[in-house]
Structures are given as structure tokens and as C-alpha cells.
Amino acid sequence: MKEKIIKAIKAIKDPGYALHILLYRYGKLSFRKKIFHHSEEYRSISENGDDLGSVAEIGCGYGGQALVNDQLLEVKHTTLFDLPFVNKLIERYLDTYLLNGAYKVTTINKEVCRDYDLVISNYAFSELPKKLQLKYIDKLLAKSSRGYLTMNSGLVDSCSAGKLSIDELRDILPQFEVFEENPLTSPYNYIIAWGYDSIFSNKMMKIKNV
């Protein structure tokens, strides 16, 4: 199973484009699963190329991004923050694979403040109510040397009621740059990143003026 999936990832991998297709078999059935992911960007912002060190992810869905990171990059340990019942799904999904690194699922209430090499969140931190966003900033984001957040709130005209605005985020997050989401999946989406090598912005990402 593992060989098949790695083969599929490598065959379809197109560097610079954030879409991979996983092909996998379950009994006699074959499935194709599209995964939008940001592994190339994570590689670019990490200090040691492929080696991302210890990663935290906020709002992980079924754990697809964590799997792609594990297979394409080096991740010593990933701490996955989601809701308790979603964490069960993530464990069910990830435990069908033999991972190169290690992971644990947890919730915000179960963690003490600590620093990670990289904190990521795709369409998840930005969907949380302000009170929870502030808690994640306090416990995780403010202490992480690198961050990469795919945002779908915070700009005027987007679905931002009850969430931190981009100006409020500038005041409380580590100093960050704003980039275009590519491919753009919704008109007011954008990327927030900090702690990256300056080559990162030139090579991978286009600055967004907001």
C-alpha cells in the first residue's frame, strides 16, 4: 500500500504547483484523491530545505496535508490540533500508512505553550472565532519561528465577522508578509508567512498588496 501511494505521489508531482493526486486501492476499488497542499512552500520557508523539524498544524481536516508533508518532506514530528472527534478521523486515516516521522493529535486545551519550527494552518485558523484565534496565537503562533497560514478571512469584504482583521493580526503575530494564494481558491483568500528566507518570496510567491 505504502509503495503504491509513494509511487503515485512521485509520478504526478509537479513542483511549483500545489496539487497532488493520490491514487490508492482499497480491495478491488481504486480511488483518486486530489490534495491541494503547500509542501513546496513549506520547503522554501524551512531553514534546512526539506527538513521542516517540528511542525504544528491547526485545523487539519482528515490529515491529508500531514501525510503529504511526511511523504515528500522531512518532518520529525507533527502536532495536529483539531476538534476531538475530527482527531479520531485523522488518526484513523494516518494510521493506515507507515509514516517516516511521527505525529500526535491534540486539542488546544491539552497543550502548554511551546515553540515549533513551523506552524501551518490552511483555511482553518482563519475560520475560528476571534477568542479562539487569540488563544492559538498566544499558545502557538506567537512562539513559532516560522508560520504559513492560508487565510479566508481578515480582509474587508470577506467573511470576517467575529474574526481578527488583517490589521489586528499585524499587531499581534510575528512580523509577516502577505502573499497571493496560488491557485486562488476564493476571491479574498491570501497567505500570511513569516520567518522565511528572502529567496522564498521571489521564487515561490507573489506579494499581495493589502
Ligand X SMILES: C[S@@+](CC[C@H](N)C(=O)[O-])C[C@H]1O[C@@H](n2cnc3c(N)ncnc32)[C@H](O)[C@@H]1O
By the criterion CB under 6 A, which residues form the site for ligand X?
A: 58-61, 81-83, 86, 108, 122-124, 127-128, 132
CB 74 to ligand X: min, Å: 21
Question: What 8-state DSSP symbol labels residue 105?
Answer: E
Q: What CA–CA distance (Å, rounded) separates 137 from 141? A: 4
> Whole-number minimum distance, CB 109 to ligand X, in Å?
9
Nearest to 153 by CA among 183, 128, 120, 117: 128
Closest approach of ligand X to the CB of residue 21, in Å? 15
- Using DSSP's 3-state secondary structure scheme, residue 64 falls into helix
Q: Measured from the CB atom, is 27 or 31 closer to ligand X?
A: 31
- Give whichever of 59 and 195 is closer to ligand X, judged by the CB atom: 59
d(CA 83, CA 196): 29
**Closest to 148 (Cα-Cα) out of 205, 107, 101:** 205
Task: Name which of 134, 133, 137 is nearest 119 in CA terms.
Answer: 137
Nearer to ligand X among residue 147 and residue 209 (C-beta): 147
Complex with ligand X: residue 47 or 108, whichever CB lies closer: 108
Give min distance, CB of 122 to ligand X, in A: 4
Least separation in angstroms between CB 77 and ligand X: 18
Helices 64-72, 2-12: axis angle to 10 degrees equals: 80
Beta-strand pair 147-151/190-194: antiparallel
Of 113 and 167, the one with the shorter C-beta distance to ligand X is: 113
Q: Which is nearer to ligand X, 47 or 142 (CB)?
A: 142
**The three grid cell numbers given for residue 35, joined into one nine-digit string:** 490534495
Min dist CB 39 to ligand X, Å, is 13
Angle at 86 between CA 165 and CA 138, to 5 degrees: 40
